[in-house]
Amino acid sequence: MKAIFIFALIVCINAYPYFGVSAVEKEIAEQKVSMIDARIENLEDIRRRLLDALDATYEDMFNSGCTKAKAQLKKVVQELRKKIVRVDSKISSTKSLLTKVLSGLNPRARNSVIRHCKVERRFAKRLL
């Protein structure tokens, strides 16, 4: 009898991470993940636009004949590079926020949130 009780206790302790998340917690996590995912998409769109502008600026710089114009375009290129670096750092910090939200859930709830919110596998891969 004592052995059965100890066995049941061990099973319950090992299975605990798969139980115990309320529907409210899961709903809040889904909302947070959806907002974070939308922010990541927005930042990636901004990054794409900045890269397109950088491309066009390089093209203008190589096509311009005037040295003053080239000097001005070099300044524009430097500013665009700085902005791209800032956006990249914001994207990485937002991705780390996403992993923090997902890592706070138990495995069953985490998988449910990932499936429901259609989180990209590359973001969720570290947690699975």
* Assigned domain for 15 exists: no
Q: What is the pLDDT of residue 49?
A: 92
DSSP 17: G
Per the structure, the complete domain to which residue 112 belongs is given by 23-124
DSSP 126: T
Provide the total of helices (H) and of strands (E) in the chain, helices listed first.
5, 0
* Assigned domain for 40 exists: yes
User: Which three-class secondary structure string do you get for 33-77?
Assistant: HHHHHHHHHHHHHHHHHHHHHHHHHHHHHHHCCCHHHHHHHHHHH
Domain count within the chain: 1
Kindly report, residue by residue over 61-70, the tens digit of the pLDDT: 778 777 888 8
* Assigned domain for 91 exists: yes
Q: What is the pLDDT of residue 120?
A: 65
| Whether the Cβ atoms of residue 28 and residue 101 lie closer than 8 Å to each other | no
- The parts of the chain modelled with pLDDT lower than 70 are 1, 5, 7-22, 119-128
What's the CATH number where 52 sits? 1.10.287
